[in-house]
Structures are given as structure tokens and as C-alpha cells.
Amino acid sequence: MSKDHLDELPSYRDATRTWIRHRRKSRFTRLLVVALSAYLAFGVYRIATNTAKPPGTLSVTKLRDNHATCAKLRRIPSEIEASREVNKRWVNGTKPILIRNATIWTGEPKAGTSYEDARLGRSYEWVSSDVFVDNGLIQKIAPSISIEHLPHGSEIFDANGRQLTAGIVDMHSHAGLDSLGNLQSDTNELSSDITPFLQSLDALDPLQPEIQWIKSGGVTTSLILPGSGNNMGGEAFVVKFAVGKQNGRTEISQEDMLADPDKNWRYMKMACGENPKGVYGKYGERGPFSRLGESWEFRHALEQATEYVNSQNDWCAAADTNGAEDMTTYLPQELKWESLGAVLRGQVRVNTHCYTIPDLEAFVRHTNEFKFRIYAFHHAHQTYLIPEVLKRAWGGTPAAALFADNMYYKVEAYTASDKAGKILYENGITPTYVSDNPVLNSQHVIMEAAKAHGNGLPYHVALAGVTSASAELLGLGHRVGKIKEGFDADIVVWDADPLSAGATPVQVWIDGAPQFKDPVALKKPTTPPAKHDSVPNDDVEMRSYENVVFTGISKVYLDEAEITHDESVTAVIQNGKLACIGTCANELALAHQSNTPIIDLENGYITPPFTAFGSTLGLVEIDAESDTHDGPPPKEGVSRAVDGLAFDGKQLARAYEHGVTRAISAPSTFSIDARGISTAFSTGAKHSLEKGAIWQDEVALHYPLTLRAKGDKTPSISSAVGLLRSKLLQAVHDVSANDSTSTGKEAYEEKSYLKRVVSGTLPLVLSAHSADTIATIIHLKSEIESVIKETDTEVTSKLRIIIIGGAESYLVAKELAAADVPVVIAPLRPYSQSWDQRRSLTGAPLTNGTAIDILIDAGVLVGISVEEVWETRDLGLLAGIAYANSEGRLSFKNALDLVGANFDTILGLSKHDVGLSTEGRDWAVWEGSPLEIGARLRGLGNGARAVVWQKS
């Protein structure tokens, strides 16, 4: 290419010069506007610009277009749409459908209910009815709609009495912005902190499989936000998850997914606090480095956008007065400030990621300084502490878009409360529940609402928090989020109460089109909705007694057999131990005489307490803060978790309050991928010297074999497996040579632990998700075992290998069973968050069961663990989900064992080792099923005393 040719191209510098000139002009204009009246300003402006651009060189057509644009700039999005004959998203040809015999949550109280009663949830109820859908709209809700009068070709879906709700609306998702297995991400544009001009839609990939998975959880509509790396991240878009012909659309297209084809409202994502600071703060180089800098970034951007809007308004006012043709400049237009300008014009619904009081209150100031409205603070973990500050936001009180109990993961989240939703609602702030997919799997965002309900938020508010309230915050409340005549036909029929453990859609409709061709329905009995008005009393105090009595116990699961009592029974605790369960007449009489506290329960349960295996409980307090961790495993050799345990943290307290009294943790900074020796301890202990605090110093040897195994020493999975193989072979050699190096300090060296592994006395726990890696492990096991057999030792030839993770383990379920390798599933419901999990089963209605079902069918011994430490409080609930969706594979007792007794078997712990109490059984007393939403722990055995949560 010749140099001459290159010279003809406009240079980048030309473009910047134009830009600077334009900027100078608009700043000049702004000064004049401030100083003079609008008219005078216009006159001077005209003179000033006349000198810049001689008259007569402007296109009249373009000036007229500019003037037409003025009308658009002034447009205020309409709140209420005129009643519709047809849903604009409807695809002509979609068959009308009659859904018969549904139990419907309409999302509204009965007509005529007062505001006060509605807030209290009165006259919200489930109604038995049919629903007729046509033209993409809910046409009719009535009991027994006759088939005769339906249009020709109508389809019929029999709901068989099952629960029906509006499609779930997740107002914080990044679905479709990352590719499968998180290989590629288009969530954050991290080139600059202020990027209001970006559009998430530009990156949305309609073919990402997660879109179908998420929808299989009943989610029909989502706000797809850019990430929170930037203070101003860019524009967001509300989409519906119907893609292409298979979902009843005519084409595969980003635009076709827009929930509102009219694009009435626009949306924008902003973010405060740790994230932008962490991305941009480069010492001495660039900001924002602190929250001080962040607020300046906001103000500086808003100031420039204000200036831009003013210059446009001036132009439009002048064009109105003098006629567009007489204008001597074009309408000022700059793509960079167009979106933020629209925010200031009230055309954009701003959603901001802010956690803490400083962030929230500074942002409330910004709304008042620049007069724009914030619709919802997201994450918002401290909003519950400052409802009155939120009410001072300009233009209206923002909502709080929350997680139910995902907290403590960073400093900003360390003051969170699982009562936040309840407290906010009581103080006049709307809580909604979101996934921040992929942070949580949006497929199960309904569980966030369910857990919030379990934590005291009224049923109707919790369900509204993923349907109507979210739709309203998106400006779609007049057509999305309720089951109401004239609304978009986005409908879910559930196989159980939607706010119960494991509730799963049977079918999902978007704009009246069924989304699943041959949906798998779990075999569940049709059950009536939960009693939605009862939330357990939460005003409890934690007390400690030697002796206490519980009455009202209906279910006892302490022994092999489960005992269900028709008439409730009594449990008498003496010296922290269960002394009697039953009528206990003598013990009761004694208790009365000695003024022993008696705690009356409704629907009481007694179970063994739960065990958290393979989490970082006791080793990680705040995930994002290394000072709060024990720290990563050493580069060479192994360490013992027992030497780094830290007691008395919030993570442990929450686990304990949810019945997780025992934890087995191994050195790690990220969950299941540990390296070193795990220890078993009591989550309720104050320190390690307390009696019963450590109940087994050394439980198992752990190594990672997920993608996280790739590191400096082992850059590949093959080298990590190779290193493990050579260590194990060396250990076999050491044992057979009777190399007696297992005394003194050598006892704590990796090779001694490996010798115990090959001698069959120490379990080996390997993290792995990929079915291929798991197959390799099974092969390695038999390889080592046959070498052991050939050696002339008395040691057992059985290696006790345990897989933790296991997203794809179901693919080799039979082989795992044959090799006698147990699997600890973590997470219970994987969603292909890494490439080695890409074949995860997401469950009904898309897949016939999930990994755990197939493992159980194959006879594999299974436990349930979690990836993130905050989730340990939900272990009971996770077992409940496995139970509810097991189609009878699991008894209630089996389900409890998934987070309890199975670990004793898997790890070969003797009953004696496991007890918190030195004699007798461990016990936990609950009000409500510990496997369901809303269960309350009321008592725990703790050595010679009982810890009791007593109503105050």
C-alpha cells in the first residue's frame, strides 16, 4: 500500500479536533444560559455560531428532522397503555389455548380491598379457574370455560388443579452476555469507568443455552444489565426468553426478544462501591480510587449530560420560536451523552448496584443534585438500615432488588441481613428478588423469593418480588407480572406451591406460545398451595439450659426408622441429652416440679443436626478479603485445616442457627477445591480449646482436579493427575518397604498422609466436575489398587476415594457405583458455570432428573455440599429440594442423611467420633419441616446443655 493512499484517509486527530470544538461551544452556551435569559442567550448563541457557520450552508431537511427530534426528546414514556386487542409480540398463527383446572395466583387482592388490607396480604388468594389465551393475551379467567365457544384450532392444557402464576420476572440478569462455561464474557466493558452509551443488547446472544435453562425455571422476562465494573455501565434491556421458531417466534434475533417492541422505556445500569474502585483505582494513575472519586465520576458525567440536555433544549426552544429553517446550527447531538441525557429527561429507568450506606446515601444526593429518578438499588444489602434515606431520593422512593441470603462475600455484604426484605417492606420500601445471573442461577430465582418468605416476608410480597413488583419497576406492570385479563400471556404451571422447596414448572408460555415441546414432568402428587398467611414468629432469643421440654413434636427421625406420631409427643432433655420422647408422663411431672422451661411447638420435628462437608466454613469469613481467610494451601506439601480454623464468625453463626452443627473443612480459599488435610469441628464452639470443639483433627486428604487444578506446578489436568499418580505409587512403595517415617515431624508430611491413603486408613477427596476427569480417577484408583495387591503387604488394597463437585458425574454413575466411589454433589443444581460442568443436567422440564437422581438410581453413595460458604445455612433446604424432586427415590430420612449421616459412612467416621455430645444422640428440634421453606430451629444438643431459641 502506498503512503500517498494512506494520506487520503481522514486521520483520527481530525475527529478529536471536531469533538473538542463542539465541546467548547456547548460549554460556552451553558455559561450564557446561566448568565442571561433564555431569549438573550439564544441571540448571543446565534451570533456566536453564525460566525462559526455561515448561514445558507445548512440542510433544511436536516434542520426539520432535528426539529422533529425535539418532540422525541420531550417525550415522557406512557405509564398506561391503551387496552389492546392483540399483544404486539404475538406471532399470528400461535394457537389459542385453554388452560383448564388451574389453581391461580392472580397477583392481586380481590377488587375493593383497601390499601391497608392489601399491604397486609388480606384477600390475596388462590382461585380455582380456567384461563383462555389468544392473540398473546390472557382473554378470560373463569371457572369452567366451555370448549364450544373457543376459536377453531384451540389447544387444551389440563393443569389438573396445579398452581399457576404469571411468568417470573428477574430484574437483574446478565443471561446471554457470557458464553457457555464462562469462556467468553461480554458483561463488562472495562475500558472506561463512565460508559452510559453502551448497550447490553449489542452483546446478547440468543443462542446461549442458559436462556432455555433459565426459562425452564419459569423465568419469562428479564432485565439484562451490563455488569457492575463501571460507575455507569450502560443501557439495559428487558427481554423475554422466547427464541426462534422452537419457542413460537418467527426468527432468531436480539430485537425479537425485546419485551416491549415499542421501546417505551429505556433502562440503565450504574454501580457504586467496591467494584468500580477495584477495577479503576490505579495508585497515582487513574481513578476512581475511592468512593470520593466515584462520586466525582458520577457528578462530572451528570454535569456534562446536563449541559448537553440544556444545549438541546435551547436549540429546540429557539426552533419552536423562529422555525427550524431559520436555525443557524444543527441540533447539538452527541452519542456519548445521548443516553445519560435521556436519563435526565426522565425517559430511562436507572437501576444501580449499591450496597452500603455511604454508597446509597451519596447516590440519593446525586439524584437530588441532578434531578433524575433511581428506580431500584440492586444488591442493596444495607438498604434495610436506612429506609428514610431512600425516601429522600428525587422523583420517588426506589425499590431494593435483593438476594435472600447470599451475603458476607465482600465487605459491602458483611452487614447484610436475611430479614432485610421483611424490614424494608414494613418500612414502605418494595423488595424484589433477583439472581444477578450468573452469580445465582436465574433458573431458580423463585427460590430467592421463597427463602425471603421463609425469613418473614409475607407470601404475596415475596411472590410479587419476582412477578408484579418487578414488572412495575420495569414500567411493564400494566401488562406483565399478573394473571389478569388483558395481560401478556406469560404463564407458568408449577408442580407444587411455587414458594416451596423444589417447585418446578410443568409448562411455561410466553405471549401465549408454549415454550417446551415435550416437557418432563416430575411425578409429584398434586398438592394444595401452602398456607400463605402463616410466617413463624421470629422474635426469639437464644438461651442455654441443662434441662428443657419440647411439646408438640409430630415427627421423629433420630433412628433408622422414621416415627410419625398422629398425636404430637413430647421430648424431654436432661443435661443436654434426650432423656425421653413420647408421652413422658414421669419426666414431665418432674419437669413441672422443677420449673423446667417448656417450649410448645407447632408441627415439631426432631432430627440429627446437619454436617457441612467440603465448604470453607471456619477457614473463610469474607470471600473477597484474604485477611479473613486462613489462606491458600502451600505451594509444596500440605497443611492441616485444624491449624488454621477461626471460630465465632458470622458464617459459622448462620450455619449453626440453621442446624449445621458440624463442619468438615479442608485448606482452601475456594470451596471444594482444597489441598491438604480436612478437620471436623463444631460450628458453635467459641474457640478450638473448648470441649468438643474439634472432634477429629484429621479427616481426609484433599486435592483439586477441577479446572482449578491447573497451576504453576501442574499446568494441565493431565499433569495434576500424573503428579497424584506418582505420589500414590511412591506411597505404595514406602508402605511396602516398611519405611517407618511416620513418627515425629514426618507424620505431618504429605508422604505420610499419602501412606495412610494407600493403606486405606485415610480417605482421599478429589474435586472434579468433568465426567472425563472422574473416569480418569476411577481408572487411577484401580491402577493403584492393583499395584498395592502385587506388593507384599498386609495393607488393604482399597483406596477410599471420594469425588466432590460431580456436575457431570451422572455420566459415569454405574462405574462410580462399581468402583465404590461416593460423590458429594456441589452444587446440587450445577448450571455449567465452567467448561468442565457443561454437561450438567438442569432438571425438569428440560431433563429427566438431575445428577443426584441418576447417582442414587445407580447405587452411588451421595452427599450434598455447596460451593460458596454462605450457602451452608441452606443445606437443609438443599436436601429438601433433592427430596421433593426425587420422585420417591428418597425417604425423608434418606434426604436428611444427604447432609448428615452419609458423611459418616463416606468418610468412615465411627458413630463415636461424630457426636457433639459425648454420649447419647445428637438432636435438633425444629418448628416446621427442616427440609422446607420457613423451618425454624428451636433447639440443639450442645454437650451437657441445650441451646434453645425461645420466643421472647
Ligand X SMILES: *[C@@H]1O[C@H](CO)[C@@H](O)[C@H](O)[C@H]1NC(C)=O
From CA 359, how far away is CA 273, in angstroms rounded?
6
Place of cell 440503565: 268
Contact 630, 619 (CB under 8 A): yes
593 binds ligand X (CB under 6 A): no
77 forms part of the interface with ligand X (CB under 6 A):
no
CB of 788 to ligand X, least distance (A): 13
* Dihedral of the alpha carbons of 870, 872, 877, 878, in degrees to the nearest 10: 100
Instruction: Please answer whether residues 260 and 266 qualify as being in contact, where contact means their C-beta atoms are separated by less than 8 angstroms.
Output: no
416 versus 817: smaller Cβ distance to ligand X = 817
Of 554 and 793, nearer to ligand X (C-beta) is 793
Q: Rounded to the nearest whole angstrom, what is the least distance from the CB of residue 794 to ligand X in the complex?
A: 6
Q: How far is the CB of 105 from ligand X (least distance, A)?
A: 16
Closest CA to 372 of 393, 401, 390, 399: 393
Q: What DSSP string describes 615-631?
A: S-TTTBSSTT-GGGB--
Nearer to ligand X, 843 or 928 (CB): 843
Other CB atoms closer than 10 Å to residue 917's CB: what's the count?
18
- Name the CA dihedral angle for 880, 886, 887, 888, rounded to a multiple of 10 degrees: -80
> Residue 208 or residue 793: which is nearer to ligand X going by CB?
793
What is the C-alpha separation between 849 and 844, in angstroms, rounded?
Answer: 6
Give least dist CB 90 to ligand X, A.
Answer: 8
Total residues found in the chain within this entry: 952
Q: Peptide bond preceding 54: is omega within 30 degrees of 0, i.e. cis?
A: no
Closest residue to ligand X, based on beta-carbon distance = 161
Q: Least distance in Å: CB of 857 to ligand X?
A: 6
Q: Which is nearer to ligand X, 519 or 908 (CB)?
A: 519
Q: How many residues bind ligand X (CB under 6 A)?
A: 13
**C-beta closer to ligand X: residue 199 or 793:** 793
Nearest distance from C-beta of residue 511 to ligand X, angstroms: 13
User: Closer CB to ligand X, residue 113 or residue 793?
Assistant: 793
* Beta carbons of 424 and 416 less than 8 angstroms apart: no
Choosing from 61, 83, 191, 740, the residue that interacts with ligand X (CB under 6 A) is: 740
3-state DSSP helix/strand/coil percent for the chain, to nearest 5?
35, 20, 45
Maximum Cα interatomic distance, the chain, rounded to a whole number of Å: 107
Look at strands 862-864 and 491-494 and give their pairing. unpaired
What residue spans of 692-810 are helical by DSSP H? 717-736, 750-758, 771-790
Residue 804: how many CB atoms within 10 A of its CB? 29
Site for ligand X in 794-853 (CB under 6 A): 794, 848
Which one, 319 or 856, has the nearer CB to ligand X?
856
Instruction: Report the alpha-carbon distance of residue 622 to residue 641 in Å, rounded.
Output: 17
Give least dist CB 505 to ligand X, A.
Answer: 15
- Name the minimum Å distance from CB 756 to ligand X: 15
Q: How far is the CB of 699 from ligand X (least distance, A)?
A: 26
Burial call 504-520: b when 16+ CB within 10 Å, e when fewer: bbbbbbbbbbbbbeebe
Q: Does 101 bind ligand X (CB under 6 A)?
A: yes
Judged by beta carbon, residue 92 or residue 595, the one nearer ligand X is 92
Binding mask 675-694 for ligand X (x = CB under 6 A): --------------------
Among 86, 142, 147, 589, binds ligand X (CB under 6 A): 86
Nearest approach in angstroms of CB 635 to ligand X is 32
User: Site for ligand X (CB under 6 A): which residue of 61, 146, 738, 743?
Assistant: 738
The angle at the Cα of 221, spanning 218 to 227, to the nearest 5 degrees, equals 115
Q: What is the DSSP string of 632-659?
A: PPPSSS--BGGGT---S-HHHHHHHHTT
Q: What is the DSSP string of 85-115?
A: SS-TTPPTTPPPEEEEEEEEE-SSPPTT--H
In whole angstroms, the minimum distance from the beta carbon of 133 to ligand X comes to 14
Where in 925-944 is the site for ligand X (CB under 6 A)?
Answer: none
Q: Smaller CB distance to ligand X: residue 338 or 485? A: 485
Given candidates 43, 161, 346, 644, which one binds ligand X under the rule CB under 6 A?
161
What residues between 510 and 549 interact with ligand X by CB under 6 A?
520, 526
Q: Which residue, 664 or 846, is less far from ligand X as judged by CB?
A: 846
Pick the closer one to ligand X by CB: 554 or 742: 742
Residue 101 C-beta: closest distance to ligand X, Å: 4
C-alpha distance from residue 480 to each of 87, 357, 510 (Å)? 11, 32, 11
Considering the complex, state which of residue 96 and residue 934 has its C-beta at the smaller distance from ligand X.
96
125 phi and psi angles, rounded to 5 deg = -155, 165
In DSSP terms, 224 is beta-bridged to: 173, 237
Residue of 309, 313, 278, 310 lying closest to 294 (CA atoms)? 278
Q: In which order are the strands placed within the sheet that holds 701-704?
A: 676-677, 701-704, 764-768, 801-805, 823-825, 862-864
**In the complex, what is the shortest distance from the CB of residue 854 to ligand X, in angstroms, rounded to a whole number?**
7
Whose Cβ is closer to ligand X: residue 101's or residue 313's? 101
- State the nearest-atom distance from the C-beta of 659 to ligand X, in Å: 31
What are the angstrom distances between the C-alpha of 598 and each of 428, 551, 567, 568, 572? 37, 7, 18, 15, 9
Q: How far is the CB of 521 from ligand X (least distance, A)?
A: 8
Q: Does 92 bind ligand X (CB under 6 A)?
A: yes
Among 16, 78, 114, 160, binds ligand X (CB under 6 A): 160
Is residue 35 involved in binding ligand X (CB under 6 A)?
no
Nearer CB in complex with ligand X: 63/131: 131
Nearer to ligand X, 94 or 942 (CB): 94
The DSSP result for 7-29, as a single string, is HTSPPHHHHHHHHHHHHHHHHHH
Shortest distance in whole angstroms from residue 584 CB to ligand X: 41
Q: Closest CB to ligand X among 40 and 156? A: 156
Q: How far is the CB of 755 from ligand X (least distance, A)?
A: 12
Ranges within 442-481 binding ligand X (CB under 6 A)? none
Angstrom CA distances, 556 to 241, 582, 915, 929, 948, stand at 44, 10, 18, 11, 18
Site string for ligand X, 848-887 (x = CB under 6 A): x--------x------------------------------
With CA atoms as reference, report the closest residue to 494 among 217, 214, 160, 162: 162
Task: Note whether 269 and 225 are within 8 A (CB).
Answer: yes
What does the binding site for ligand X look like in residue numbers (CB under 6 A)?
Answer: 86, 92, 101, 160-161, 520, 526, 738, 740, 793-794, 848, 857
